[in-house]
Chains A and B, each alone.
Chain A
Amino acid sequence: MTPAHWAAITLMLAAVAGSFVYLALDVGQVFSAEAAAQMWAYVVRFFPPDFSPDYLAQTWRGTLETIAISAVGTLLAAVCGMLLALPASGRFGLALRVAARLVLNFLRSIPELVWAALMVFAVGLGPFAGTLALALHTTGVIGRLFAETLENAPPEPARALQLAGARPAGAFLYGTMPNVITQFAAYTLYRWEINIRMAAILGVVGAGGLGQMLYVSLSLFQQPQAMTIIIAMLILVAIVDAASAGLRRYMEG
């Protein structure tokens, strides 16, 4: 235990104590028997979940909507990311490289949910807002990854084609693309996986999918319906996890 250790530990304990004081959280109140009874009464209202065929059909539609938001959003991001990655990898000069990287950093540093809240203002409630929000954030992430892949790609094939008389576009498509396309596909799939999870919850600010259904049912005090949605979210994420783990094992093995 050096003095630095003691300083760090004291600092952390002070931060914890300060936080509880600042929020005026009454820990005794939160864990009192009365609060527990209230919480239990609230939990009980969620059971049994609503498994009526009618509501299951609605939930299924919400699940499809969630998957569609993630797929279209990711694809849109892959296209826009590609377009921004070209200048960001320095192919059109330093000024455009800096500008494109600035745009990508900006897109990436604003979380999906904040984008979603903004997009709800721009295009109204519904899945389109969620799609745009995912597309904007993911463009920032994917564009940067693409740009780095392009910078690391071997320049020789494209150069050889250009020296043989190919135009720049042809040299890029037939010299550079074959070297990076699998990497691009891998990044896009990886982000799609993340975006399915994200699309399921983006709706809590009104951007469509299962999240919006959850928000609406909770606002209408329909707890059994809310429970059905939560179960659907858990199943969706479990399937995505299993599929991605399986695919990864298959590709590695």
Chain B
Amino acid sequence: MVSWVKRDANSITHDPAALPRFALATLLLILLWPGIQLTEFDPGVLFDPRNRETMGRFLGTFLPLALSGEFLRLVIKSTLETLAIATAGMTFAFVIAAPLSLLITRSLSIARIGPGPGLWLGRLLRIPVRFTLMLFRSVPEIVWALLFVRAVGLGPAAGVLAIGITYGGMLGKVYAEIFESGDTRPTIALLESGGGHIAAFMYGMLPVALPELVSYTVYRWECAIRASVIMGFVGAGGLGMQMELSMRMLNGGEVSTMLLVFLLLVVLADGISASLRKVIG
């Protein structure tokens, strides 16, 4: 009897759950099969001799970096352009977001305090504003850029408008949330004692919300720099547009130099935004 138990315990040398797991994995693969076909998944393309030769030659030119004086001047110019697009775009975004966020902040409604006349009108007016902000931020910035490139032409103006619209939608929503999430009692007290909207906002709401507003805006500025590089790929100016041009000319050295500059830019923006937030926050 004892030996039987022993032999049985030792005879399980495989994982008892192996079969169900194997079945699950197979099932997942079968489910994924249409996806694999839809993506035209074919690793063979990577190793196709003709492709490999072109790509190999392109990759071979990635080093050494392109460091000629003329090209570096161009890189500096497009880097400054990228920074300017992000900054000007954020300015537009702020101009859109600041008034609209005030409109949709419920705590600033005077009609809400007492059963005043404008209560329903106010609620009704907030709906289209909220909807506009949602529309602005739901369409990705690169799609806005694509649309604006066709409306105002290739170049930085399209990038500025795209960032302004997308980030205006985001800032507007987040500003309103910051206003509401802070302590709203000072604002309501001011309104209740007869203060106007603007006074209640300036003395009741802004002091509470300012640090968070600044730090969120600066953080978004950092994101805008990355976005403006990427939007360049559809023709909205800056570093991305140059990168795309160099790729088209299969000039790897220029591409790798600009990638390096892009990485430096991201690190730099991170540093600037962190120190700005520390000073103001």
- The verdict on B76 contacting chain A, using a C-beta distance below 8 Å, is no
- The verdict on A121 contacting chain B, using a C-beta distance below 8 Å, is yes
- Taken together as a complex, chains A and B put the C-alpha atoms of A110 and B266 apart, in Å, by 11
Q: Which residues of A contact B15 (CB under 8 A)?
A: 174
- The verdict on B204 contacting chain A, using a C-beta distance below 8 Å, is no
Contact of B35 with A68 in the complex, beta carbons under 8 Å: yes
Contact of A19 among B35, B55, B88, B279 (CB under 8 A): B88
- The verdict on A117 contacting chain B, using a C-beta distance below 8 Å, is yes
Contact of B45 with A110 in the complex, beta carbons under 8 Å: no
With A8-B276, A121-B247 as contacts: A131 and B88 at CB distance below 8 Å: no
| Among listed B2-10, B146-154, B176-184, interface-contacting one | B146-154
- The verdict on B230 contacting chain A, using a C-beta distance below 8 Å, is yes
- The verdict on A69 contacting chain B, using a C-beta distance below 8 Å, is yes
With A64-B38, A131-B41, A230-B139 as contacts: A109 and B91 at CB distance below 8 Å: no
Q: In angstroms, how far is the closest chain A Cβ from the Cβ of B191? A: 26
Contact of B244 with A117 in the complex, beta carbons under 8 Å: yes
Contact string against B for A residues 56-100, beta-carbon threshold 8 Å, 1 for contact and 0 otherwise:
000000001101110111010000000000000000000000000
Name which of B39, B147, B226, B243 has the most chain A CB atoms within 10 A of its CB. B39
Q: Which residues of A contact B259 (CB under 8 A)?
A: 110, 114
Q: In angstroms, how far is the closest chain B Cβ from the Cβ of A47? A: 14
Contact of B88 among A16, A113, A114, A234 (CB under 8 A): A16
Name which of B42, B45, B161 has the most chain A CB atoms within 10 A of its CB. B45
- The verdict on B85 contacting chain A, using a C-beta distance below 8 Å, is yes
With A23-B85, A23-B160, A25-B160 as contacts: A204 and B45 at CB distance below 8 Å: no
Contact of A20 with B88 in the complex, beta carbons under 8 Å: yes
Which residues in B have some Cβ–Cβ distance to A below 8 Å?
A: 15, 32, 34-36, 38-42, 45-46, 51, 54-55, 58, 80-81, 83-85, 87-88, 91, 138-140, 142-143, 146-147, 150-152, 156-157, 160-161, 226, 229-230, 233-234, 243-244, 247, 250, 259, 263, 266, 276, 279-280
Residue of A nearest to B86 (CB): A19
Which residues in A have some Cβ–Cβ distance to B below 8 Å?
A: 4-5, 7-8, 12, 15-16, 18-20, 22-23, 25, 30, 38-39, 42, 64-65, 67-69, 71-73, 75, 109-111, 113-114, 117-118, 121-124, 126-128, 130-131, 174, 197, 200-201, 204-205, 208, 214-215, 218, 230, 233-234, 237-238
Contact of A114 with B55 in the complex, beta carbons under 8 Å: no
Q: In angstroms, how far is the closest chain B Cβ from the Cβ of A68? A: 4
Contact of B230 among A71, A113, A128 (CB under 8 A): A113
Contact of A19 with B91 in the complex, beta carbons under 8 Å: yes
Contact of A65 among B39, B161, B226, B263 (CB under 8 A): B39
- Taken together as a complex, chains A and B put the C-alpha atoms of A215 and B88 apart, in Å, by 26
Contact of A67 among B35, B85, B142, B150 (CB under 8 A): B35
A-B contacts, 18 of them at CB < 8 A, read A8-B279, A18-B84, A20-B91, A22-B84, A23-B88, A42-B151, A109-B263, A109-B266, A114-B230, A114-B233, A118-B247, A121-B55, A121-B247, A127-B39, A128-B42, A201-B140, A205-B234, A218-B146
